[in-house]
């Protein structure tokens, strides 16, 4: 009954709902650990894929997979374009395993899930898509910190991808912050605190509000439910892997874990005009480093922050990434 109601609502809003299923992938070097790959397949014989990579603090189903209304998510939009649309949860996030260090005191282990580890997990997901899901072409779309392991993977696997989209990429700061001296395994935040950060009140002009209503209403409870509670922690504390923040400190100081000139596929850099991580001055020289990319696009979306994919102008992001993917495919013919 509920499924029928959801399908009817999706139809009434013009959205074709495509179910998202989760594939669990055992890690070759750690058989007790698994990665979660959330996929929407438009047709059984679809052979091209878009693989979404999340950022530093919340997983796929709170990002590209977040459902604003039945059938309305970035993953499902992409599936309706004919692609097997998937989103990877890195270790320590979403439906993937929590490494043992996430259950121990933070100061007893190095940062969990840094870019090197995340790039190797992308390799596992790409292998799964090619070997077991019948995929012959993969477009990688990464957000925020996720752009670091995504570009790292693309640089070290020059023939594995068809294109690379870097949405709100981490770039060097004009005045780097002093490096952190403490590098614990994980850090904590509450779901409500993270939602408040997503509003970007300190960045946007007074009175401007960009988050979608569904994010205000449902995002924080979903985020809280995506992270297991550890006995002894405050009731609302969410443990988040610290490797991404360690990487961000390094990259904003100008130290990348990859050589952009080794990326040999089309590259698209896209960001909001009110993004506090990257702007025109940072994006232009960043993209120029991809000297061996056969096609380079750069786009600034007005009325958007660092989380355009959760905001009212998200369809401009969806459509521009889709246009770039088609341009990358045309350029390869």
Residue 10 belongs to a domain: no
Query: Quick one: pLDDT at residue 2?
Result: 31
Residue 7 belongs to a domain: no
- State the residue range of the domain holding 132: 18-331
**Could you please report the per-residue DSSP string of 183-240?**
--SEEEE-HHHHHHHHT-TTTSPTT---B-HHIIIIIHHHHHHTS---TTS-TT-EEE
Across the chain, mean pLDDT equals 93
Residue 267, φ and ψ in degrees, nearest 5 = -125, 135
Q: Give dist(CA 85, CA 91) in Å, integer.
A: 20
Query: Quick one: pLDDT at residue 183?
Result: 85
Residue 202 belongs to a domain: yes
The sign of the torsion formed by the CA atoms of 98, 32, 36, 248 equals: positive
> Model pTM?
0.94
How many Cα atoms within 13 Å fall on the side-chain side of residue 256?
22
Asked if 313 and 210 count as a contact pair (C-beta separation under 8 A), the reply is: yes
Q: Which of 55, 69, 61 is nearest to 245 (CA)?
A: 55
Query: Quick one: pLDDT at residue 6?
Result: 37
The sign of the torsion formed by the CA atoms of 114, 117, 118, 119 equals: positive
Query: Quick one: pLDDT at residue 176?
Result: 63
Residue 283 belongs to a domain: yes
Query: Using CA atoms in the order 330, 316, 274, 261, what is the torsion angle rounded to 10 degrees?
Result: -10
288 Cβ partners below 8 Å, 6+ apart? Answer: none
Residue 186 belongs to a domain: yes
Q: Which H or E run contains 49?
A: strand 48-53
Q: How many domains does the chain have?
A: 1
Query: Quick one: pLDDT at residue 38?
Result: 98
Q: Give dist(CA 136, CA 138) in Å, integer.
A: 7
Query: Using CA atoms in the order 243, 244, 247, 251, what is the torsion angle rounded to 10 degrees?
Result: 180
What is the full per-residue pLDDT of the chain (333 aa) written as tens digits?
A: 333 433 433 443 457 899 999 999 999 888 899 999 999 999 999 999 999 999 999 999 999 999 999 999 999 999 999 999 999 999 999 999 999 999 999 999 999 999 999 999 999 999 999 999 999 999 999 999 999 999 999 999 999 999 999 999 999 987 666 666 678 999 999 999 999 999 999 999 999 999 999 999 999 999 999 999 899 999 999 999 999 999 999 999 999 999 999 999 999 999 999 999 999 999 999 999 999 999 999 999 999 999 999 999 999 999 999 999 999 999 987
Q: Give dist(CA 241, CA 91) in Å, integer.
A: 8
Q: Which of 274, 277, 273, 261 is nearest to 298 (CA)?
A: 273
Query: Quick one: pLDDT at residue 11?
Result: 40
The residue count for the chain: 333
Q: Which of 232, 166, 238 is nearest to 197 (CA)?
A: 238
Residue 126 belongs to a domain: yes
Q: CATH number of the domain that 316 lies in?
A: 3.40.50.1820
Residue 276 belongs to a domain: yes
Residue 299 belongs to a domain: yes
Q: Give dist(CA 46, CA 262) in Å, integer.
A: 29
């Amino acid at each position: 009954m509920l499924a029928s109601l959801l399908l009817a609502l999706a139809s009434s809003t013009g959205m074709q709902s495509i179910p998202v299923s989760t594939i669990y992938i055992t890690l070759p070097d750690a058989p007790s650990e698994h990665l979660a790959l959330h996929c929407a397949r438009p047709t059984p014989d679809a052979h091209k894929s878009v693989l979404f990579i999340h950022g530093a603090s919340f997983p796929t189903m709170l990002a590209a997979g977040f459902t604003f209304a039945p059938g309305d998510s970035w993953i499902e939009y992409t599936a309706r374009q004919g692609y097997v649309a998937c989103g990877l949860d890195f270790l320590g996030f979403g439906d993937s395993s929590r490494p043992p260090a996430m259950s121990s005191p933070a100061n007893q282990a190095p940062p969990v899930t840094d870019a090197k580890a995340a790039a190797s997990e992308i390799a596992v997901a790409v292998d799964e898509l090619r070997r077991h899901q019948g995929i012959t072409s993969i477009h990688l779309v990464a957000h925020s910190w996720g752009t670091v392991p995504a570009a790292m993977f693309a640089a070290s696997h020059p023939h594995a991808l068809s294109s690379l989209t870097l949405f709100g990429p981490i770039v060097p700061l004009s005045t780097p912050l002093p490096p952190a001296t403490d590098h614990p395994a994980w850090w904590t935040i509450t779901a409500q605190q993270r939602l408040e950060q997503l509003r970007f009140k300190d960045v946007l002009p007074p009175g401007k509000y960009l988050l979608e209503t569904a994010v205000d209403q449902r995002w924080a409870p979903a985020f809280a439910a995506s992270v297991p509670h550890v006995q002894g922690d405050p009731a609302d504390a969410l443990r988040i892997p610290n490797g991404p923040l360690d990487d961000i400190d390094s990259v904003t100081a100008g130290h990348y874990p990859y050589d952009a000139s080794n990326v040999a596929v089309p590259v698209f850099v896209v960001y909001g005009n009110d993004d506090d991580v990257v702007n025109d001055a940072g994006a232009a020289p960043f993209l120029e480093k991809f000297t061996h990319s056969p096609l380079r696009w750069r786009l600034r979306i007005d009325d958007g922050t660092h989380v355009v994919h959760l905001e009212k102008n998200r369809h401009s992001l969806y459509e521009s990434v889709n246009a770039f993917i088609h341009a990358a495919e045309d350029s390869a013919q």
